[in-house]
Structure 1
Amino acid sequence: MALVAMASAKGSPGVTTAGLVLGALWPRPVLVAECDPAGSDVAIRMTAPGGQPLNSDRGLVSLAAASRKGLGDDVIMAHSQQLDGGLDVMIGVRTPEQIGGMGGLWQPLGITFNQMFSADVIADCGRIGPASPQLPLVQAARMVVLVCTATGSSVAHLRERLSSLVHHVDAKLGVIVVADPKKRDGVKQVWSVLDAMSVPVQHRWHLAYDPVGAAFFDGRGQGRLDRTPLIRTASDIAAELAALVAMPTQHDFDMAEAAFPHGQGGPHGEGGPDSLGGPNGEWEGR
């Protein structure tokens, strides 16, 4: 399975909503993980089955404490919970101050997310930059997708972040532009900006700016979600993105080698697949 890291260059272009809607439409089992140092939105916006509140104490913070005994599918899913509708999520930190307790978890967590046997992972990484604490997790992803709007300032920050990020990650890069479906000229201008850059952004999508559809992922939706522009555009993105990350890349083997140097397990040693975060593999606490 694979890790897809979603992030923004600046501001709030809708990364959390995009991650939730893609997770809801994902064609394989998937976990949406909040890895935004700014704090959790999902616990505030969404509910558990039956309309019950989500447990804000069960998620990334509780996983950090449990990770001292190792990371794997079972451990990760034990600290995840289900939204009303069936989507599995991992709740992020309640406040930015809790990030300090994450310590060295980001890199092993990213590698484990990318090597899970039971599900793909879509990680909402919030705003990302070279000094971001969650960057090691982003570096472990098979695909890094930046989300922006079609405004001039958002595109300017996108260019800046891509130019910097390309020196820090080896994963495939993608861009999702959140824009009014009727304003395709603005989206085309973003594509023109990307074409003029030397950064290899081969994968590009237009996600409809749709307040009516987005309201369903903010606990306020009414009517038929499947008829909204958000769902119509997100369905195609989810299918294509899932297909792109379905096959392992050289990046995955490089990350596995970093986690398990030659002769210490993993695909180049004795450990085999179970050493990469499966039910039989463990991470040492960091």
Structure 2
Amino acid sequence: MAIISVMSAKGAPGATTTTLLLATLWPAPTIVLDADPLGGDVGLRLQRSDGRAMDPDRGLLSVLPAARRGMDPVAVAQHTQEAVGGQPVLVGLPGPEQAAAVAPMWPTLIDLFSQVSDADMFVDVGQVQATSDHLAVVLGSDLLLAVYRPTAWSALHLRRRLETLEEPARERGLRVGIVGIADPDQERDRQAASAAIRSGLGWVRDYGSIAYDPRAVVMFEGVTVYRPERSMLARSARTVAAQAYADLAGSATPHDVAAAVEDDDAVTAGLPGGDGSEVKPTNRRGRRRGVRRHRERSEVTS
């Protein structure tokens, strides 16, 4: 199965929302992992499917001791919590105080998660740089998505960050792409920012944009949103999810995958906050299998 990490360079362009959104709309079962070493937001923003708050001690903190002893990848699912809408979540660290203790375990953890066979994993890695303690998570992924806003400073910060990550990423054959968070009226600015980021970085792929949609994004904050699957937020994210899935699968075309996502009630039912939202099934007839993970990856070029 595949590991997809989502990062930002500076500020809060929307990496956590992008992680949750793409995981929900992915045309295969997924698990969301909050791996932000500064303290995760996922467990604070989402409620469990029973309406209670997420348990901060069940997730990454409960996986750690088991991983030290040699954990069966099948048991990872036992440490997840089901969010409203049915999305399985591995809650992250409560704060940066635990980051130092976890740092030596990241290589072990990412190896463990790469062996999970029944779900692709979306990882919110927060801000990343070449010296980050959790860099092993990024480099152990199959795809890294970097999120930015259509502003000069956001593009500049992300470009500089990708430049520092180029050597280790290319050595590992890590696919890297960028995703803009922009109002539809800002598409020209978004394209200009994308061009500035990718200039001279042909190994970085442009996955387009997810709509900046404040009225819909609150679905991930416990607010009811009418027909969230029809929002600009969800529709634009489907396109990004389809392209990324097709790239990792290496078979289905983005058009075929997009059509499947658009018509898959099991996927749209997984969006939280909608009227009459249902539990997202982890295995349902007709759903695509997760992307197989290739341990020997060739270098990604333009």
Q: Output the TM-score relative to the length of structure 2.
A: 0.80
Question: How far is 1:68 from its partner?
Answer: 1.7
Partner SS, residue 223 of structure 1 = coil
1:109-140 C-alpha deviation (Å, 9 max, x unpaired) = 22332332111001000000011111011111
What are the ranges of 5 or more consecutive residues in structure 1 without an aligned counterpart?
256-286
Q: How does 1:78-227 map to 2 (within 5 A)?
A: 78-169=78-169, 170=172, 171-227=174-230
> How big is the alpha-carbon RMSD for the aligned residues of Structure 1 and Structure 2?
1.9
What are the ranges of 5 or more consecutive residues in structure 2 without an aligned counterpart?
251-290
Partner SS, residue 206 of structure 1 = strand
Question: How far is 1:208 from its partner?
Answer: 0.5
- Conservation of the 8 A alpha-carbon contact between 2:74 and 2:116: no
Equivalent of residue 239 in structure 1, options 230, 238, 242: 242
Q: Which residue of 2 aligns with 1:252?
A: 295
- Conservation of the 8 A alpha-carbon contact between 1:5 and 1:138: yes
- Conservation of the 8 A alpha-carbon contact between 2:29 and 2:118: yes
1:31-53 C-alpha deviation (Å, 9 max, x unpaired) = 01000011121221111113121
Q: Which amino acid in the other structure matches residue 210 of structure 2?
A: L
Cα distance in structure 1, aligned partners of 2:82 and 2:7: 22
Question: How far is 1:250 from its partner?
Answer: 9.8
Cα distance in structure 2, aligned partners of 1:177 and 1:50: 33
Cα distance in structure 2, aligned partners of 1:22 and 1:143: 13
Question: How far is 1:74 from its partner?
Answer: 2.2
Q: Output the TM-score relative to the length of structure 1.
A: 0.84
Cα distance in structure 2, aligned partners of 1:246 and 1:114: 16
Aligned pairs, how many? 255
Where in structure 1 do 4 or more consecutive aligned residues deviate above 6 Å? 248-251
- Conservation of the 8 A alpha-carbon contact between 1:146 and 1:176: yes
Q: Which residue of 1 aligns with 2:9?
A: 9
After superposing the two structures, state which structure 1 stretch, 40-49 or 156-165, moved more.
40-49
Q: Which residue of 2 aligns with 1:53?
A: 53
- Pick closer, same or farther for the CA change 1:44–1:249 going to 2, 3 Å: closer
Q: Which amino acid in the other structure matches residue 133 of structure 2?
A: P
Q: Which residue of 2 aligns with 1:29?
A: 29
Question: How far is 1:104 from its partner?
Answer: 2.2
Cα distance in structure 2, aligned partners of 1:178 and 1:17: 10
